[in-house]
Amino acid sequence: ITLGAIVDGRHGGKALARLAASAAWLARPVELPGSRPLEFDARSGIGLELLAWPRRHVVKCLVNYHPADPLELRLAQEQRLAELADATARLERELLIEVICSGPGRAVDTRTTPTVLRRLYHLGLKPAWWKLESQDDDSWREIAEIVAAHDPLCRGALLLGLDASEEQVARSFDIAARHPVCRGFAIGRTIFGAPVRDWLAGAIDDSTAVA
């Protein structure tokens, strides 16, 4: 079992520094939160930003991407991902691409995420990791086949939570655990989402939020 965390370097700098001194697996986001099309949260270009990172830090990038998006939007997203993939390859950094297909007005079925992965592999993108939404058995099987066919060296996928309830996440775990391509999970808001909302609303104090 490997323990790790995905930590933002700008807002989570203190936590990142503490974790960097440990053997924990670490990934850091580069996307500008909420951007669609994708933009990078980099002050002076993504390549220069990554140069300052320790080499063992995994580069994590979230993209809100759906196969039915307008062509112009899809091309803009793909161009940004290609730019990031080139920078990480040149700088010998591992890349984790987080794909979120669901969202307002975006219908998702068994084929949606596999279709996106097949498209990104077709473009030559080969991230070390994927981070994916909850899937059913058929989707995980297809994802495994796509990854094996296009990049046998891929480390696999992490399951994300998307602020789902513990019960929903437990069901997702039960399904994902049957598929070796899913190597673990990165669950944040399911754990701390409600306490954070209560704390921001002034309903609980600091010590209650931490507990």
pLDDT digits (tens, 9 = 90+) for 102-144: 998 899 999 999 999 999 999 999 999 999 999 999 999 999 9
Q: Is 100 exposed, middle or buried (0-12, 13-18, 19+ CB in 10 A)?
A: buried
The rounded mean pLDDT for the chain is 94
**C-alpha torsion angle, residues 85, 181, 53, 26 (rounded to 10):** 160
Is-contact 154 126, C-beta < 8 A?
Answer: yes
Task: Report the predicted TM-score, pTM, of the whole model to 2 decimal places.
Answer: 0.93
- Residue recorded with tokens 């990854």: 147
Q: Which of 65-69, 85-89, 143-147, 186-190 has the lowest mean pLDDT?
A: 186-190
Sorting pLDDT into bands at 50, 70 and 90, what band is 10?
Answer: confident
Is-contact 165 190, C-beta < 8 A?
Answer: yes
DSSP secondary structure of 152-170 = TT--EEEEE-TT--HHHHH
DSSP secondary structure of 62-83 = EEE--TTS-HHHHHHHHHHHHH
Tell me the β-bridge partners of 6. 27
Summarize pLDDT for 149-206 with one digit per residue, the tens: 999 999 999 999 888 888 999 999 999 999 999 999 998 888 888 999 999 999 999 9
Is-contact 159 173, C-beta < 8 A?
Answer: yes
Summarize pLDDT for 14-49 with one digit per residue, the tens: 989 888 888 889 999 999 999 999 999 987 889 999
Q: Starting at the earlier edge strand, list the strands of the sheet with 4-6.
A: 4-6, 25-29, 58-64, 95-100, 129-132, 156-160, 182-186
Sorting pLDDT into bands at 50, 70 and 90, what band is 1?
Answer: confident
The residue count for the chain: 211
Sorting pLDDT into bands at 50, 70 and 90, what band is 92?
Answer: very high
Higher pLDDT, 58 or 2: 58
Residue 74 has what pLDDT?
97
